[in-house]
Amino acid sequence: MAISQILETQRAWLASGKSRALKDRRDTLRAFAAAMDRHEAELLDALRADLRKSPLEAYTSEIRMVRDELFHVLRHLKGWMKPQRRPVPLLAWPGRAKVIREPCGSVLIIGPWNYPVHLMLTPLVGALGAGNTAVLKPSELAPETSAALTRLIADAFDPAQVAVVEGGAEIGESLASEPFDHIFFTGGIATGRKILTAAADKLVPVTLELGGKCPALIFPGPGERERLLGQMDVIARRLAWGKYLNAGQTCVAPDYVMVEQSLHEPLVAALAKAFESFGVGELGKIVNRRHFDRVLRFLADGRIAHGGKHDPETLTIEPTILLDLPPDSPSLQEEIFGPILPVVACANLDQALEQFHSQPPPLAIYAFTSDEAVRAKIVSDTVSGGVCFNDTVVHIASPALPFGGVGASGMGRYRGKASFDTFTRERVVMSRHLWPDLKFRYPPATATVERLRNFFRFIERH
């Protein structure tokens, strides 16, 4: 079916009012959850084929994330849909006003390949909870998952409500030029710019979830150094886990570490120990040969302190620690998106923040400290989509927390209530009686500016 026909049928669906009522939306979300159950095994197999994700990783980082979103929205949707009473201006007394939230309309969701289930279906949950229809464009770089998603959507929804369009990058750009009511894109910065440019011609609002270099900072407060040394194994495991997940192909993975000089060697030793304990048996693969070759080039930037082994046949790269990097090296300037972790020693936090400010704002900042002054400085002196202290990645796991970037790392927010707000529009509804009808508002003027000023000053004081 041509995209123009899909949009026509979806607009007819919206005009019918089938997605307006709370019950209809809840029924849709419950049908979605039931289809997830029926297709779970197929999705796990597809994720294994496309990205070599283990069943446990695929379930926790993909399937479970979607199901958590579904049930969070089901629990809270009634409250989100309630109109909000607002005061009316003095000129409209006596009167009433409220703000209602209405569906955007037909939403285009373009998903990435690195989390092809989670990052495609989680925004869909929000779009459906908000009462919209949707067109999905899965990534062609995860073909098995794309096919599995197409079957799931066909099983769960009428195509007039949710449809899937498969194809390459050119299809995504073509879709973005169509008159959708909202576009939601997750992917790289370069493609995000193309989507935004294509949407601008028809003034379609866009949400962009992009990437960036997410730093990890390890700088102790006064008297904290010995405590951090004593917990270095925990710090290293949490950093290594964030980089190991999905072979580093995670937009919020720690991309590089900046650590105080005195903690540099203990951290590197602990990271090597952590990566060694994880093994390589469950390590995912790089999505294709082009990305494999791109990631592999970063290994030439510095000295390999651990790892570095790679296999072009299986497209796997052993988790690798890189040291002795020049400040202008590609691995400190470009998003790595692979299992390579540069570690940079800095004299102090100020020096680290100076280097941080040379990069665009990232999706996340990770910092390992319990010192409140250090935490406050990191929050106040930086800009990012989120900040997580003493862990990595886990801050994105809750549907109660909005997720998104800043500047080059994205625009807009989603997850839970943030998704509902993204995929709806505020509409003001005001009502008042025809009496009283105060004559002073009409020409010719009977009041003076001085009298009005005194009147409003009286109101302000009371």
Q: Which residue has the higher pLDDT, 322 or 438?
A: 322
Asked if residue 429 has pLDDT above 80, the reply is yes
pLDDT band (50, 70, 90) for residue 263: very high
pLDDT band (50, 70, 90) for residue 447: confident
Asked if residue 42 has pLDDT above 90, the reply is yes
pLDDT of residue 452: 85
pLDDT of residue 455: 85
pLDDT tens figures, 285-315: 999 999 999 999 999 999 999 999 999 999 9
What is the third-level CATH fold of 3-210+410-425? Aldehyde Dehydrogenase; Chain A, domain 1 (3.40.605)
Q: Which residue has the higher pLDDT, 80 or 173?
A: 80
Asked if residue 462 has pLDDT above 80, the reply is no
- Superfamily the domain 214-396 falls into: Aldehyde Dehydrogenase; Chain A, domain 2 (3.40.309.10)
pLDDT tens figures, 49-60: 999 999 999 999
pLDDT of residue 69: 98
Mean local confidence (pLDDT), 183-193: 95
Both tokens of residue 62?
Answer: 């993909």
pLDDT of residue 403: 97
Mean local confidence (pLDDT), 112-136: 98
pLDDT of residue 138: 98
pLDDT tens figures, 3-21: 989 999 999 999 999 999 9
Where are the chain's structural domains? 3-210+410-425, 214-396
Asked if residue 240 has pLDDT above 90, the reply is yes
pLDDT band (50, 70, 90) for residue 90: confident
- Give the active site residues: 209, 251
pLDDT band (50, 70, 90) for residue 439: confident
Using DSSP, state whether 418 is helix, strand or coil: helix
Asked if residue 173 has pLDDT above 90, the reply is no
Contact 162, 156 (CB under 8 A): yes
Using DSSP, state whether 203 is helix, strand or coil: coil
- Residues near 144 by Cβ (< 8 Å), separated by ≥ 6? 45, 46, 47, 49, 50
Contact 430, 88 (CB under 8 A): yes
Q: What angle do CA 236, 274, 371 make, to 5 degrees?
A: 10
pLDDT of residue 151: 98
| Closest by Cα among 203, 147, 193, 199 to 174 | 199
Mean local confidence (pLDDT), 150-178: 94
Mean local confidence (pLDDT), 71-79: 98
Mean local confidence (pLDDT), 197-224: 95
- Average pLDDT of the chain to the nearest whole number: 95
Asked if residue 160 has pLDDT above 80, the reply is yes
pLDDT of residue 211: 86
